Structure 1
Amino acid sequence: MLNLLKFLMLFFLIAPLGLRAQKIDQSKLLNDIEYLSSDELGGRKPLSEGSLKARKYIQERFRELGLKSQYPDFIQYFDFQNNREGKLYENAANIVGFVGGKETEKLIVIMAHYDHIGKNGEQIFNGADDNASGTGAVLALAEYFSKNRPNHSMLFVALDAEEMGHQGAKALVDDFPFPIEQTVLNINMDMISRNVDGEIYAVGTYHYPQLKPIIENVAEGRFPKLLFGHDVPGQKADWTNASDHSQFHKNRIPFIYFGVEDHEDYHKVTDTFERIQPEFYIGTVELILDIIIAFDRNLNKE
């Protein structure tokens, strides 16, 4: 249950958003990001106790929603070598849910990484924006499409070990449960819960310009303000390979990466739930949902 403070945050900050028909459960979205970034989960470093708790939390939600999966109990296990630590990580886990499409077996993959960087002694790197925010969005989007069956089939994926070199995304692509060319679009969300200027970026349209008009049509006049960029090769702050979507781009699969500019709390112990912006976060997830709905209706189904 939301405490009084969060209730007031919802009532006063988010009331304008309520004038539109709500497609997502706003209080559940805030509860998800709060739990996933809580001290109890200890920063969600792969294979830590907190990571296992996050894994179970996402599994249970997928199960409650009635999602299917091509992996036993929604879990795609994988091993990887972390050369920085000189350590082999065994049985890291992506959590993968599936909704079959009404009109086509072609896939839209919607994903975010749920890991973060863990602890340094007693200091906890909670990773609220990075990336409990994206994980919460995956849960909200999975809930919507579990109740509103899309035209395209959809994979909903919470990825492990992004902070160690996109390891979960590499494992997903290497052991993809369908022919990879069946995927028509990858949506990645990484840091989407705060920005002092009220801006969110949609990255990838430089490489896949056919996607831009659909996004522009949905985003016009919306809050937060949606910007394009950070995807031009050779320019400063090119995010084309900055997160898990890079593994789909390497396979020539169109992607859109939603994220904000780095802020003062990036990879610091101060990236906590108390510092997210609820109105911005909810508005962003609703905007991304409407963009995905538009893609589902308008992407080439041939």
Structure 2
Amino acid sequence: MLLRSLALAAALLFPAAALPDQLFEDVRILAADDMAGRLVGTPGSAKARAYLIGRMQGIGIEPFGEGYAQPFTAKHKEQVLNGVNLVGRIRGTGTSDRVLVVGAHYDHFGSRDGKVLNGADDNASGVAALLAIAADFARNRPTHDVIFALWDAEEQGLYGAHAFVDSPPVPRTRIALNLNLDMLSRSDKGELWVAGAHHYPFLRARFERLAKEAPVTLKIGHDGPPWTGSDDWTAGSDHYAFHRKGIPFAYLGVEDYPDYHQPSDDFDTIPKAFFARSAATAVMAARLFERELGEIAAEAGRGK
């Protein structure tokens, strides 16, 4: 019954007959040439942050302290990276202290050989889906606190997510689950994947319920046998920062395609109907995990 209501809510949020304009507009703006590929520590990154801060304020995401920006430094090879995460929350209506963290990285690679790598799918798409989730929770408040984190310097080594987990804005023991959104809009097979059940088996039944009702073809895997090497996504995106601390994760993403990490990963190449269904699935997933966050925390041994 819960999943049926979530499916209905997703259908209303992203009706098949109409394109979800704000979702696409967020990707179009973030993946425009004037963002210069959103490389960490560059003016393009700062411009993307300014846009995202405006969107967070408009949605009603509450900052921790005086602002959303949480700067960090990281040593990458022989270079010091000066990154900035954007972090805020929507407070829950209940009394539980369990927290859901919804995250997506907003950075990309800048330019290569004079061509901008706009990173429309990787990962303007995940950022746009995160903002859609936040807008949904702002309209219909969650029971638990939900933190929304936009991470920097993922492409160099997940540095923003590691900085967040190493110094979180709430005690780490309160974080029951990370929902990570990284590459949601491109799939040659029309498939979205969810990873995490191999490491946290109590999530599998939830993933299966979600897959039955999702408006997209949702498959489970890419986090253990038979997947190996780069096909095992356990350490492949920001959720790994949580996993290394024993915090369960659910990672939504697509498999690689020819435009991956290429200048051709542009807004115009996104199949919009698939992206709308994929983003709607992300909203459904966030609603499901938030509603069952207490049970997830207990099953993970992270308190009541």
Q: TM-score, normalized by length of structure 2?
A: 0.89
The 3-state SS of whatever aligns with 1:45 is coil
Q: Give 1:192-211 correspondences, 5 Å limit.
A: 192-211=184-203
Deviations 1:135-165 (A, max 9, x none): 1111111111112110111000110000010
CA–CA distance in structure 2, aligned partners of residues 19 and 112 of structure 1: 20
The 3-state SS of whatever aligns with 2:21 is helix
CA–CA distance in structure 2, aligned partners of residues 167 and 272 of structure 1: 25
In the alignment, what sits opposite 2:72?
Answer: 78
The 3-state SS of whatever aligns with 1:73 is coil
How has the CA–CA distance of structure 1 residues 43 and 61 changed in structure 2, closer, same or farther, with 3 Å as cutoff?
same
Question: Are residue 276 (structure 1) and residue 274 (structure 2) matched?
Answer: no
Once the 2 structures are TM-superposed, how far is the Cα of residue 235 of structure 1 from its aligned partner? 3.8
Asked if the contact 2:10/2:284 (under 8 Å) is kept, the reply is no
More off after superposition, 220-229 vs 148-157: 220-229
From 219, 229, 236, the counterpart of 2:211: 219
Question: Are residue 161 (structure 1) and residue 147 (structure 2) matched?
Answer: no
CA–CA distance in structure 2, aligned partners of residues 59 and 105 of structure 1: 26
CA–CA distance in structure 2, aligned partners of residues 135 and 221 of structure 1: 23
Write the letter of the residue equivalent to 1:22: L
In the alignment, what sits opposite 1:292?
Answer: 286
Once the 2 structures are TM-superposed, how far is the Cα of residue 134 of structure 1 from its aligned partner? 0.5
From 30, 45, 56, the counterpart of 1:62: 56
Deviations 1:157-181 (A, max 9, x none): 1100000100000110111011101
Once the 2 structures are TM-superposed, how far is the Cα of residue 49 of structure 1 from its aligned partner? 1.3
Write the letter of the residue equivalent to 1:268: Q
In the alignment, what sits opposite 1:179?
Answer: 171
Asked if the contact 1:71/1:96 (under 8 Å) is kept, the reply is no
Where does structure 2 lack aligned partners over 5 or more consecutive residues? 1-7, 296-303
Asked if the contact 1:96/1:155 (under 8 Å) is kept, the reply is yes
From 101, 123, 127, the counterpart of 2:119: 127
Deviations 1:103-155 (A, max 9, x none): 22211000000000001242100101111111111111111111211011100
Question: Are residue 238 (structure 1) and residue 229 (structure 2) matched?
Answer: no
Write the letter of the residue equivalent to 2:206: I
Write the letter of the residue equivalent to 2:238: D
Question: Are residue 264 (structure 1) and residue 258 (structure 2) matched?
Answer: yes
From 138, 151, 161, the counterpart of 2:143: 151
Write the letter of the residue equivalent to 1:111: G
In the alignment, what sits opposite 1:136?
Answer: 128
Q: TM-score, normalized by length of structure 1?
A: 0.89
In the alignment, what sits opposite 2:4?
Answer: none
Asked if the contact 2:71/2:84 (under 8 Å) is kept, the reply is yes
Once the 2 structures are TM-superposed, how far is the Cα of residue 64 of structure 1 from its aligned partner? 1.4
In the alignment, what sits opposite 1:110?
Answer: 102
Once the 2 structures are TM-superposed, how far is the Cα of residue 185 of structure 1 from its aligned partner? 0.7
Once the 2 structures are TM-superposed, how far is the Cα of residue 22 of structure 1 from its aligned partner? 1.8
CA–CA distance in structure 2, aligned partners of residues 40 and 288 of structure 1: 28
Where does structure 1 lack aligned partners over 5 or more consecutive residues? 1-16
Once the 2 structures are TM-superposed, how far is the Cα of residue 183 of structure 1 from its aligned partner? 0.6
Query: Stretches of 4+ moved more than 2 A in 1?
Result: 17-20, 298-302
The 3-state SS of whatever aligns with 2:62 is coil
Deviations 1:36-69 (A, max 9, x none): 0110101000121111011011111111122212
Number of equivalent positions = 283
CA–CA distance in structure 2, aligned partners of residues 177 and 21 of structure 1: 33
CA–CA distance in structure 2, aligned partners of residues 98 and 298 of structure 1: 18
In the alignment, what sits opposite 2:92?
Answer: 101
How has the CA–CA distance of structure 1 residues 111 and 40 changed in structure 2, closer, same or farther, with 3 Å as cutoff?
same
More off after superposition, 244-253 vs 219-228: 219-228
Percentage of matched positions with identical amino acids = 37
Once the 2 structures are TM-superposed, how far is the Cα of residue 80 of structure 1 from its aligned partner? 1.2
CA–CA distance in structure 2, aligned partners of residues 19 and 130 of structure 1: 23
Once the 2 structures are TM-superposed, how far is the Cα of residue 188 of structure 1 from its aligned partner? 0.4
Asked if the contact 2:101/2:146 (under 8 Å) is kept, the reply is yes
CA–CA distance in structure 2, aligned partners of residues 264 and 121 of structure 1: 18
More off after superposition, 256-265 vs 230-239: 230-239
In the alignment, what sits opposite 2:300?
Answer: none
CA–CA distance in structure 1, aligned partners of residues 127 and 140 of structure 2: 20
Deviations 1:87-110 (A, max 9, x none): 2123x1000010111122211000
Question: Are residue 34 (structure 1) and residue 28 (structure 2) matched?
Answer: yes
How has the CA–CA distance of structure 1 residues 234 and 201 changed in structure 2, closer, same or farther, with 3 Å as cutoff?
closer
Write the letter of the residue equivalent to 1:213: A
